Amino acid sequence: MKFFKRVTGVLLLLCLLLTVNRGLASAQQNTSHYFPLTGHNVSGEFWIYYQTVYNASFLIGDPITEQFSDPISGRVVQYFQRARFEYYPENPAGQRVKLTDIGLLVHQKAPTGGAVNPFTPLACRNYVETGFSLCYSFLNFYDANGGEPVFGKPISYSVPYINGRIVQYFERARFDWYPDFPEGQKVKLAELGRIYFDIVPEDPNRLQPARSENSPSDVRSINARVFTWKAVTQLTDQQEIYVVVRDQIFNPVSGATAVVTINWSQGGSQSIAQTTNDYGFVKVPIHVQGQPHDSLVVIDVEVLYNGLTSKTSTSFRVWK
C-alpha cells in the first residue's frame, strides 16, 4: 500500500512538472517572433508592444535589425521598415516602448517647402501646434489608420516630390501620394525606418539576417552576474559596475544587451544599456554624487539575448 502511494505521488509530481514546463515553453515562445521576409526577430517587450498595434505589419512593417544598444542614447532600440522602437526600462510596465519621432528627424535632414494644397475648411484640418494643415486624401488616410497616436502631428506642407508624387511629413511618418495608383490606394507610407537608418548612419552589418530565435541554438539559457568595483564609496566618487553573462555550460555570451538600472538612495533611477563583448562582459562607469552618508545604492540588471532573459542585482554603500 505504501509503495502504491509512493508511485502515485511520483506520477502526480511528474505530471505537474510536465504541465509547468509546457506552460513555460509556451510563454517563452510567445515572447519573440521571427520575420522570415527580413530575417530578424522581435522579442520581449518590443514584441508585446508590436502585437498591440492594429495592422502593425502595414503601419510599422517588418524588423530590419535586431535589438541593439544605441551608442549615443545608451537605450535599447530596434529598426523596422517604417518605425524605430526605443526601450525605457525606468517607465511603468506598458509604457516602456516608445516610437522614435523619425518623421521629424528625417524632415530636419531633408526639409521641404512650398505648399501645394491651400487650406480649405471643408476638406482640411489645421494643427495650430505645428502650424500645418492636413487635407484631402492624406486626411482620410490619417483618420482611417490611427491618426495622431500613430503618426503624430503634421510637421510640413504637402509638397511635390519625384515622379509626380506629393509627400507630407508627420512626427513619426511620411505620407506619399501616387497619382497613377487606383482610388483608395494612392496614399502609401514611406519606409522611414530604413531611410533614417541610412541617414544616421547606422552600421550596415545590422541589416544582415539573423537566426530565428525559435530555431535550435547553442545558447539555451543565460545567467547574468553583477559586481561593483567598490563595496563602499565616498560621498563623491567614481564607481564601476561589471556584468558577466554565461550560457548553460558557462561559455561567455557575446552580443547580449545588458540594461543596468542604478536606483539612487535619494530617489530616481538611471538606466544604461550596453552590449556584451566577446568575453560576455560589460563595464558601466558611474559617478557618485549627492548621496547621503550611510546610504545604499541598489543596482538592478536585466540581460536580453535572443528571446532569453536573466535578471540579477547588487548594491554598494556610500560612506564619508
Query: pLDDT tens digit string along 190-233?
Result: 999 999 999 998 999 999 888 665 554 578 889 999 988 888 99
Q: Are 164 and 188 in contact (CB under 8 A)?
A: no
| Homologous superfamily of domain range 222-318 | Macroglobulin (MG2) domain (2.60.40.1930)
d(Cα 308, Cα 213) in Å, to the nearest integer? Answer: 9
**pLDDT by residue (tens digit) across 62-99?**
999 999 999 888 889 999 999 999 999 889 888 999 99
Task: State the pLDDT at residue 3.
Answer: 43
- Does pLDDT of 165 surpass 90? no
Task: State the pLDDT at residue 300.
Answer: 94
pLDDT band at 287 (very low <50, low <70, confident <90, very high): very high
Angle, alpha carbons 195-35-248 (nearest 5°): 115
Mean pLDDT across the stretch 3-9? 45
Task: State the pLDDT at residue 13.
Answer: 42
- Does pLDDT of 118 surpass 80? no
Q: CATH 2.60.40.1930 occupies which residues in the chain?
A: 222-318
